[in-house]
Every structure is written in C-alpha cells, then in structure tokens.
Amino acid sequence: MQTTTVVVGTGPVAVDEIVAVARHGARVQLSDEARAAMEQGRDVVDRLAADTQPHYGISTGFGALATVSIPAERRRDLQRSLVRSHAASTGPEVEREVVRALMLLRLSTLATGRTGVRAEVAAAYAAMIDAGVTPIVREYGSLGCSGDLAPLAHCALALMGEGEVRDAAGARMTPGQAGLTPVTLTEKEGLALINGTDGMLGMLTLALHDLDLLLTTADVAAAMSVESLLGTDAVFADDLQVLRPHPGQAASAATIRAVLEGSGIMASHKTPDCTRVQDAYSLRCAPQVHGAARDTLAHARVVAERELAAAIDNPVITPDGRVESNGNFHGAPVAYVLDFLAIAVADVASMSERRTDRFLDVARNHGLPPFLAHDPGVDSGLMIAQYTAAGLVSELKRLAVPASVDSIPSSAMQEDHVSMGWHAARKLRRSIDALARVLGIEVLTAARAIDLRAPLQPSPATGAVRDLLRARGIPGPGPDTYLSPDLETAADAVREGAVADAALTGASL
C-alpha cells in the first residue's frame, strides 16, 4: 500500500517514506514531539543571540567570514543575504523527485531540534512540500561541503518568497504566484536551512530503491539468457554457492534457480550425451557479479541509514544546550558509497551486454539465426540493439570513475577539502538509467530467442516476461521493424518493475 502521509519526528525517515514523498506526492506532517524539540532548540539560539560574545552562525558571518561580528539589527539581513548568495546553481534543472527528497531530509533534520530553527519555519517548509511546490534547483553548484549548500539555498530562497518554483502541475512561477507566504528568517535559520548532505543523501536513497529492483531484474535477465542460450543451471546449485558464503551471491543464485524452474528448454538438453559442462563467464558467473553488486548495495544502505539518523548542521545544538561548531556536514561517507555503487552498476551492465552479444553470434548462440534476424542479409535483426547496449556500457565505465577523489578548495581555503558527493550522486542517477536500458535490451533479446526455440517451452517465469513484452507491443521474431520504440518500451518495463514482477509471479516467489 502506498504511504499517503509521512510523519516527520525527531527520528529518521525511512527510505520508503522518502520515495513516497519524492515520487508519489505523499504528504508530510510534523509530530508534536518534533515541534517541542524545535522550541527547545530555539530557546538556546535566542539566549545566545543576546550574548555579547560572538557565536558562529548566530552573531557572526560564515565560512571565511566567521570572524566578522554582526550587530543585532543586521542579523536578519545576514540570513537573507546568506541564502541569496548561496542560491548560485547553474545548468539544467534538477529532477523534481530529487528536490522533494532533499527538502524532506532537511525538514527531518530541522525536526530534531538540533538546528535552532523555529517550529513555524519548519511548518512553512513542510507546507511547501505538501503543496507540491518545488523550488528550481540547477545541476551545478554543490561541492558536497558544507553539505549541499547551493541546492538547499534555492529551497530556502523559495521559503523566503524569492527565486523560482514549479507548482504541482509543473508550471514555472514565483513563490508568491504559487501561493507561498514569505518567511522572514532570524538568527541562524538561513544557515540551518542550507547546511546538510540532503541532496546527495536524497539521491542515494532513491538509488537504493531503484537498484533493489534492477538487481533482481538482472538476475531475471541472466536466467532468460542461460535458458535460451541452452546453458546449464547446474552451476547455480545451492551447495555450490554456500562454498563461497557471500549473501548477495546466494540471493542471486536462488533467484536464477527459481526463474529457471520448470523450463522445457532447459530440460531438452539435459541428456547423457550433452557436452555442455560449463558456460561462458557472463552466464556461469552471474550470481558472483550480481551478488557482489547486491552486497555493495547492502553496504550503501547501512551508510544511508546512519546518515538518515544524523542531525547535520554547523553549528549544532547539543542535547545539553551547547552550540558547537563541527565537521559533520562533510559528505565523504555518502560520496564514497555513491561512487562504489556506480562501479557495481557499470559491471552488472557490462556482463548483461556480453550476454546480449552471445545471442547474435552464430558461433556462440547454439543454433539461432545470425543476429536473431528473420531473413539474415535482408534483415539485420537485433544487430544494432547490441551496439546501443555497448554504447551505454562504455558510458557507464566513464561514469564509474569516482568523483569523491576530486577535491577542489573553496571559500578562501577555509573549505580546503570537499567531498564532491553531489556530483557522485548525479552520475549515479545517469548510471542507473543506463543500467535499466541495458537490461531492457537483454530481456528483449532473450525473449526473441525464447520464441525461436519453439516448440520447446520456456519456464513459467521467463515465459511470463516474454508475454509481458508481447502484450506491451514488442513483436516476436519476424521482419525488421522500427526498433527504437521497442527498446524504450523494454527499458520502461524494467524501470517500472514489470519485468521483475512478471518473472517472480511466474516463479511463485
């Protein structure tokens, strides 16, 4: 059942709640506990604001200007200027779901009471999310330290009634035209609204959700390829997998076994005279590669859950009422796993493309026509679909180069080491999109090969995937047709989870 309201309290929000708000328009509601915590935190800020001693973020400038004391009558100007100057992103607009995810995560940190923001400011922020109003954030501007300053500043700017937003229908307008009432920020509030890892973390949580699905789909695609290339399933036996006890490998092998269960194609060559004792690595080692990706995803989930439980701001209000400067905003923990996932995604896609290529080569496809063409020579079949997969994999290899090793100093050398976590997240999103397309090409190719093995019958699970593609308008074997729309349809079926659902339902999982 889809979550319709996410209650934001003093504890972390969950990955599925972030997806519900970011993608599906779930509402948000601040808990009474969160409101009380914010009131307590604000009392600390109000007390220090009246102090004659300077306190960073309350009565001083920021970054390299932290030594500049700001008189009380200018502190609202300070917060307004901070947000305006930091809303400095440029380039294409960032996707709506990313902006909504980062806004929810910033709201979650505000709700801890550790930032000193007034409860009414957080309530106005929640109302902006609820109204479906999305500040326009652009691609470039964050170095991942101090957190995602520029993207978050655009959201704070909209809260102040400035900048540009899109309404729930996607129309571009000012915050006032979208019905938002401007909020006047007081001591520390501008800083608290922009100082966090929420952009990179939001994209990481969306990636966790997407990769859970895509790695299962990769197992399904591999099973379809093993089946229709007349491979052996003996290598996926559980007693062989436990000899190397990686949990991801065991999970992938179990999925492949279940998807292949009951295959007439597999049964057709399990005879005493069969010489197929082992297959190419792209078939035989699928659980090892997919499993390693699963284990990488599990590690990334641990890091994400820790970060979701964090209250990131600088300075931060401690439970005993101190206001302390810190370095918790540095994005390194999140940036590292974003880069790690991009490596795993590239490798899973690379193996998928190699399986696709085997179908098209008569020297390796065990009796199928060249390029799975209807009339080879006149027809090219799926020749260029493999080119497309190869181009995507080449791009994925470039995207796998880590962003987190590339620090560029900023803020007059005050911020002399940065995480580049935002950039790691942006390239991971492109990687995930490419993986869905590569897997779609493999599934489309394997489905055509299944049809070409008739009258042999596929397993219930792989047959269900083949039938899904046919029901969506992707034709079976026959003369060449306009192929691009079929590749898009297959990618959509993968991305939406329809391929995995069809296979797992067919396998009674």
Contact 470, 458 (CB under 8 A): no
| 69 DSSP β-pair partners | 60
420 dihedral zone (left: phi>0; alpha: psi -120 to 50; beta): left
Residue with tokens 């991971």: 428
Residue from 116, 114, 115, 124 nearest 30 by CA:
124
Q: Are 80 and 193 in contact (CB under 8 A)?
A: no
How does strand 165-166 pair with strand 172-173? Answer: antiparallel
CA 87 vs CA 74, 79, 164, 200, 451: distances in Å: 20, 12, 11, 17, 55
Give the pair of three-digit tokens for residue 313: 């701001």
CA distance 366 to 361: 9
Known catalytic residue at 281? no
Contact 329, 142 (CB under 8 A): no
CA 303 to chain centre: 14
Inter-CA distances, 5 with 26, 95, 229, Å: 5, 22, 47
Upstream peptide bond of 272 is cis (omega within 30 degrees of 0): no
Q: Are 449 and 370 in contact (CB under 8 A)?
A: no
- HEC string of 75-123 equals HHHHHHHHHHHHCCCEEEECCHHHHHHHHHHHHHHHCCCCCCCCHHHHH
Q: Phi first, then psi: what are they for 397, rounded to 5°?
A: -65, -40
- For 231: left if phi > 0, alpha if psi spans -120 to 50, otherwise beta; the answer is beta
For the chain, state the CA radius of gyration: 26
Contact 90, 97 (CB under 8 A): no
Q: Which residue has the tokens 């009246």?
A: 50
SS (H, E, C) 43-68: HHHHHHHCCCCCCCCCCECCHHHCCC
Pairing of strands 27-30, 5-8: parallel
Name 324's bridge partners.
Answer: 316
- Select which of 56, 140, 281, 336 is catalytic: 56
Cα–Cα distance measured from residue 377 to residue 400, given in angstroms and rounded to the nearest whole number: 37
Active site residue ranges: 56
